[in-house]
Every structure is written in C-alpha cells, then in structure tokens.
Amino acid sequence: MFDDLRDLYQEVIFDHNRNPRNFRVMENADRKVEGFNPLCGDRLTLFLKMDGDEIIDASFQGSGCAISTASVSLMTEIVKGKTEAEAEVLFKQFHAMTTGKEEDIDLEVIGKLAVLAGVREYPARVKCATLAWHTLDAALKNEEKSISTE
Amino acid sequence: MTTFPIEKIRADFPILKETIRNKPLVYLDNAATCQKPQAVIDSISHCYSHEYANVHRGVHTLSVMATDRYEGAREKVKDFINASSTKEIVFVRGATEAINLIAQTFGKSNIKQGDEILITAMEHHSNIVPWQMLCEQTGAVLKVAPINLQGELIVDEFEKLISDKTKLVAVVHMSNALGTVNPVKKIIAAAKVKNIAVLLDGAQAIPHMTINVQELDCDFYVFSGHKLYAPAGIGVLYGKQALLEAMPPYQGGGDMIRKVTFDETEYNTLPYKFEAGTPSIADVVGLGAAIDYLNEIGMDNIAAYEAELLDYATEKAKQIAGLKIIGEAEDKGAILSFVLDKIHPHDIGTMLDSLGIAIRAGHHCAMPVMDFFEVPATARASFAMYNTKEEIDVLINGIEQLIEVFG
C-alpha cells in the first residue's frame, strides 16, 4: 500500500527506529549536546567519549520521528572509531546526499548511511535526517550546549 | 437526515479534483487553511480584469467602481458577524496582524506596569507572543488560565485569575490544536463584572459557526480570510466603536489621515484610521464573495454537517487500538488531533501524504498545548464543509495500514 514510500521507509529504517542502537545515557561523557527540530518536536541528547581526537563511544537519548531516530542510531554506529576529521567528512557527505547534491558521494565512505538517501525526495523531512549530524558537528566543535535546526 | 448539498459544494472547489501522487486529494488540513470556491477565485480575477483601480481617492469611473466593491465587502463582513456599524470593521492581513494591532494600540495606551493580561493555556502563538512582547515593553504581567486533560478551559480557575489588575482578557474562541470551543459567553460575563475588555480570537471558529458579535458582546473579535474560504492575506479586526475611537493609530501613511502638514497631521475617521496604504483590494472583494457563498449555504447548515463528520471520524478513530485523541472537550469543533503509540506524527503525515491525504503533523503553533499533553507533536485532521464520510474512511484506513507497516 505504501509502495511510493519504499525509497524512504526502508526496512533498515524501521529496524533502527524499533531498536535504536546506542540508545543510553553515557556516564562521564566528554561531550553532551542537545539537538532540537522545532518544526516537529524531534529532540535528542548526544553523548560522546573522546580519546584525543578519536570518538571512542557515542550514545543518545531523546524522542523523535522514525527518520530522525534511525539517522541518529546509524550515526552513532558509524562514527565510533572515527577521528573528528573523518566524522566531519561523513557529515559533509551525508548532508550532500540528503539535500540532493549527488556529486562526490563516496559510497564506500557513506556505507550504511546510504539507506537515508531517499529523504532528498521529501524536502520536508531532510531536517529530520540531518538533526543527528548537526548535533554531532556541534559536539565535535565543542561550541554549543544545544542546537536547533531552524 | 441532513440534505446538505455536498456534491454541489465539492464541484465548486476546483482544487478538490487534484491528484496527489496519483491518488485523489483528500484535503484534511482545513485548520491550517481552507480551499477556495470558483466564485471566490473568479471574483479576484474579475476584479483585476474589469473593476480594479485604487480605492477611496479617485474621481474616475474605475476608482469609484473599485471603491464600491471594496466598501460593499466591508458591509458584507459587518452583516456576517452582526456588527452594528462598518466603522467597527477594520481590514488587516489576518488574525495575527489584528492581535498585534490591538496589543500595540489598545494595549500600549491602557496597559501599564503591574497590570495583568489574562489568556488561556490553549492559545495559538498569535494570541500569546504579541502579549509577551507588550508585557516586555510595559512591565505588565501575563496570566494563563489552565486547561484540563480533555482540553477544556477550567472555568473556575479562569475566574479566580481575574483580578483588579486585569486590563484585558484574550481568549481563543475555538482551539486550532484541540478543537475545543470555549464558553465565551461565560468568559465575557465574568470579565464584564470588572469592566475588563475581552478579545476573542475567532480565526478557527468563524468558518464553523454563526458569529454574532453584538450578542456575544465581546470588545474585539479577530479572524483571517484564508480560513473562511477567502484569499490568504486578508483578515478582519472587529472592535466596538468607542474602543476603536480611543485607540491611537497603528501604521501611519496614506488613507489613515484626514490632513497632513509638516506641523501637524489629523487622523482619519473609523475604520480608515487603521487602514494605512493601498489595501489588498482584490482580496477584500474575494472575502466578500466568500461570505456571499457561505450565506447561500447557511452557517448553521455547515455547522450541523460538520458535527456529523466529527462524530463519524471520532467514532471510527476510537476503534483504532493505539490511537489517542488529544482534545475531547464536550463542546468541540470539527478537528481531530491524535497521536499513535510509538509512531511519530511526522511519520504519520508522510505516510498519509503518500495516500493523497493532507493532514498536519507538528505543534500547530501551539507549543504550550503540546507541552501540557506531554507530546512532541500531534497529527491533526481538520474538516471543512467539502469533506465527506468517504474521505474519513480513506483516512481511517490509511491510519490502520500504517500502524501495520510500522508494527
């Protein structure tokens, strides 16, 4: 019945929404940033543990739509073991993919995140997908305690 | 059994023939804005094609014609809400602008440090933020009357919040987020005991019921055209003549003056004092055409038909396991706000959109209401006189399917 939405709501999305990975509070986190999408009420708190410039652990709490939950769940999986610089590259790639700028997407780098490529056909939902990454960006830059997509 | 002319009405609205992602459009986002009948679309087109010129100041034929149409529409509005005079009908951009106008004119001249403004916990941001801004400017205090879990105003608590310092009561007539229709007569009576002015935000109420401002005896009533099957960009501020006379002007410029010199300027009479600049002439004409269209059908008939739709939708919705209706006031307009277990309103909205169904998912410009019910957002289906039980069936079926898919 929802054939049109297969591009967006893939099985992986449903899976990560139902069983989000790294969904826990992190004691002794090095970075803690809140992300908020005022348009729809998606809200998340991101925790990072750093070893020098390497992200050794990432977790989150919060509530939001399936797209935002799946996105942050996938993100926390993929950034573990990455350096800040590598994570920033991923952020740029993810942003380009979800906003429809297809040039220079490295499929090897993007990996599992490609499952969210469909969101570019749904401009109203792009901010749901990118909230996780904007929050990560703020956490890595250590600049803000909370960010908003507006 | 109602003999509401639904087929004829649907045929009058061209956009209802659109398809969305190859499915017929099921437009259930009327609380956000309503669609327009051909008569309204034609009136705008006709204005620009045959009867358009600047109003009030011209001597030539076209200008006189345009002025006739413009002021004719003002008469129609006055009759539609039973105001006592066209001096009490001010054209603005919408309800939001009307409330800002009242805040910055009536508010600034009557409300001082320590005074109180009383609103409710179910207000739309347009009836919260202008008062917060005024309180910041003047040092007045904003008081908020609480609501209960059915989404109803707790009238006792509201009455307790009326004090000797209260200078204005501003209340929504019908909540856009919950559908609640407030007991405005009781509210106005309570305020009148202490001679407190009452503003009613009628943006959501006006398409769903007959409004009689003299009977209500409210001091201000505001509404937007775009929720009344009229063009977006036009709205009405009704105010009792004595109050409007005493209020200083809002925007300065042409038309709101009687005489301008560099030494001094005399302001114009009502309602022009509050209508600076060239107005949205064609949109006003469109508003007049919308009122004509509605008068032919009859607001009471519309109210009765929509009550049927609401009952039908509510009954069906209650049968869906995992669906919770937000806003179950005893007196309620044709709005169904709901949440689903474990499925975010945004996902509900996108999935229903793929079936051609337009609902709204979000905070509906009523974040405090969302906070009160402890939800990030709700999904909202809102009905108009052109919706049908068949469309409600499509909605219900869609919700059931998406619950399965998400399961």
Q: Per-residue pLDDT averaged across A14-39, rounded?
A: 93
Q: Per-residue pLDDT averaged across B364-371, rounded?
A: 94
Chain B, residues 305-364, CB within 8 A of chain A, namely 343-347, 350-351, 354-355, 361-363
- If residue B12 lies in a helix (H) or strand (E), which one and from where to where? helix B6-12
Q: Which residues does B203 contact at the CB level (< 8 Å), separation at least 6?
A: B94, B95, B124, B126, B176, B222, B223, B224, B227
Do A2 and B343 count as a contact with CB atoms less than 8 A apart? Answer: no
Do A8 and B406 count as a contact with CB atoms less than 8 A apart? Answer: no
Do B376 and A43 count as a contact with CB atoms less than 8 A apart? Answer: yes
CA distance A31 to chain B (A): 25
Asked if residues A84 and A53 have their Cβ atoms less than 8 Å apart, the reply is yes
Residue B31 in 3-state DSSP?
A: coil
- Whether this prediction's pTM lies above 0.90 is answered by yes
User: Before B279, cis peptide (omega within 30)?
Assistant: no
Give the separation between CA B66 and CA A12, rounded to whole angstroms: 61
Query: What is the average pLDDT score of chain A?
Result: 89
Which residues in B lie closer than 8 A to residue A4 (C-beta atoms)? 21, 354
pLDDT higher than threshold 90 for residue A78: yes
Q: Judge whether B399 is closer than 8 Å to chain A, CB to CB.
A: no
Asked if residues B127 and B258 have their Cβ atoms less than 8 Å apart, the reply is no
Q: Report which DSSP code applies to B167.
A: E
Q: Per-residue pLDDT averaged across A117-135, rounded?
A: 92
pLDDT of the residue at B2:
54
Task: Using a pLDDT cut of 90, give the percent of chain B over it.
Answer: 96
Model confidence over B4-35: pLDDT tens digits?
A: 999 999 999 999 999 998 999 999 999 999 99
Nearest to B362 among A40, A63, A67 (CB): A40
Which residue has tokens 């969101």? A119
What is the distance between the terminal CA atoms of chain B, rounded to a whole angstrom? 39
Structure tokens at B248: 């200083």
Model confidence over B208-258: pLDDT tens digits?
A: 999 999 999 999 999 999 999 999 999 999 999 999 999 999 999 988 999
Question: What letters, b where the CB count within 10 A reaches 16 and e where it falls short, cover B323-357?
Answer: bbbbbbbeebbbbbbbbbeebbbbbbbbbbbbbbb
What is each CA distance from B184 to B129, B163, B199, in whole angstroms? 21, 18, 10
Q: Per-residue pLDDT averaged across B324-350, rounded?
A: 96
Which residues in A lie closer than 8 A to residue B351 (C-beta atoms)? 2, 5, 9
Residue B303 in 3-state DSSP?
A: helix
Give the separation between CA B353 and CA B363, rounded to whole angstroms: 18
Which residue has tokens 């009628």? B202
* Residue B135 known to be catalytic: no
Structure tokens at A59: 């977790």
pLDDT of the residue at B1:
47
Chain B residue whose CA is closest to A69: B344
pLDDT higher than threshold 80 for residue B394: yes
Confidence of residue A105 (pLDDT cuts 50, 70, 90): confident
- In this complex, how many residue pairs, one in chain A and one in chain B, have their CB atoms less than 8 Å apart? 60
Chain B, residues 11-50, CB within 8 A of chain A, namely 21
Query: What is the average pLDDT score of chain B?
Result: 96
